[in-house]
Structure 1
Amino acid sequence: MKNILYIEITTYANIQNCTIDPGKKFSVPFEWLEAFVIDEFDWTVEEFLNEYTWDNSETVLEKAKKDGVIKITNEKTNSNEFDPKTQVAIIWSVEDVKGQRRDLNDEQCMEVLKALKVNHDANYGVCWDTIDQQIETLYPIK
């Protein structure tokens, strides 16, 4: 079973047929949010989490409900949920990977990031050296 990272968002939105009270929290999968905020707002997840307004959260809530990915989290229910009030997240992007290897396309860069997420050593974390090593593992220069 795949472990899914959820991102918690607070909203005052009141969506019809949605059992969420205004001013409460809901969660969506990180990967879903990442794709949505790029398409809808042209933001990274980090930018969204730092800049979103209640209007933005309402848009996310509506789409998450429509896509069936919403998870009501009035209480924190999963240790994999990101809580910006008590946790920090370091975000690496496709652009970071491209900065190390310009010849890689966006899909290849995302594969590098996904591999880093799965394979990183918590003693060392992710840094430029680990990014370079993962790039070389997946896409060696011939």
Structure 2
Amino acid sequence: MDSELSPSESPSARARQNRKRKTLRLIGWIFLPIGFIGLSIFAAKLGIAMGRADLPESAKVSTAYPVGIVVVAGRDGDPVFFAETVQELRNFYFQYPEIEQRREANLDGETKIRRVFGRVELATLKSDADGVQVQIRTGPLADEVYWIHKSQLPAQN
């Protein structure tokens, strides 16, 4: 009797069980990474949504400066600073954080910052986080395209 195998222990039954196990393992190895990536994306989106919900109202409002309008800078007598790239403008404002420091900065030599005194009419072309690309319409740099810091432009509602 020992030599007889029960139907559940027959070689064909064991082979079927092994195939089922291998198939389930294969399915697991396929869906495990997909599930992990899916859950990671879901967690990231949830974190972004929760982070936005915690922002103050002032940060939720878009700070992009309007594009395609004409504005006048330099009304209060302070110099207006222009840069060829937005990164040069950021570097300049980082190096000279105070208005007085910027006014007295030595712009000769390696800097590509242009300083203009007086009123300048500008047409806005593109907006960035802290700078606006403008085409200068009046003054010594007329018809040139430069970047200007948002703090030098009139406030927009």
The structure with the largest alpha-carbon Rg is 2
Larger relative strand fraction = 2
Scaled by the length of structure 1, what TM-score is found? Answer: 0.21
Scaled by the length of structure 2, what TM-score is found? Answer: 0.19
